[in-house]
Amino acid sequence: MSDLQNSGFDADALWERVDGDVELLRDLMRIFRVEFPGKIGGGEAACRQGDAAGLAKSGHKLKGSLLQFSGRAGAAAAQQLEELGKTGRVTGAEPLIHTLKQEVELLMKSLDVMVCRMAAQGVRQKAEKGTRRGRL
């Protein structure tokens, strides 16, 4: 999986975190895809309304979700949002939100590739075991 490594995503750390369970990873991805629009929408709304506390809260939630997937680059952008809000400011949040959306898009593409590869390897491993049994 090291070929999936990039500056924003650590596939090996994630695979270890889910204990090699492809179905668990798929479930986590489904939940994230459902929850992300609301979480990022909360940050966008806080930015429009000048709600620094809301921006900090949104950034914190997003950071936690992204760290769950070892999405370092996205988590870093979310942390910057959180810190911006904690200082009582929302100015400068829009570019961070844009960056965060891009990082999440890249992360999800990498996760999709990872899940497909791992699922295919699992199928091959099962098929190989069955073939070996048939020969015995």
Each residue of 21-37: pLDDT tens digit?
899 999 999 999 999 99
Question: What is the average per-residue pLDDT within 107-130?
Answer: 74
pLDDT value at residue 10: 86
**Measured distance CA(100)–CA(26) in Å, rounded:** 21
Question: What is the average per-residue pLDDT within 51-65?
Answer: 96
pLDDT value at residue 29: 95
The model's pTM:
0.81
Q: Residues 6 or more apart from 81 whose CB is under 8 A from it? A: 43, 55, 56, 58, 59, 62, 93, 96, 97, 100
pLDDT beyond 60 at 132: no
Domains of the chain, CATH where assigned: 2-135 (1.20.120.160)
Place of tokens 């910057």: 80
Q: Residues 6 or more apart from 33 whose CB is under 8 A from it? A: 108
Alpha-helix runs per DSSP H in the chain: 11-17, 22-49, 52-68, 72-86, 93-135
**Measured distance CA(85)–CA(36) in Å, rounded:** 19
Give the chain's mean pLDDT.
86
pLDDT value at residue 7: 55
Torsion of CA 34, 61, 69, 80, to 10 degrees: 130
5 backbone dihedrals φ, ψ, rounded to 5°: -65, 135
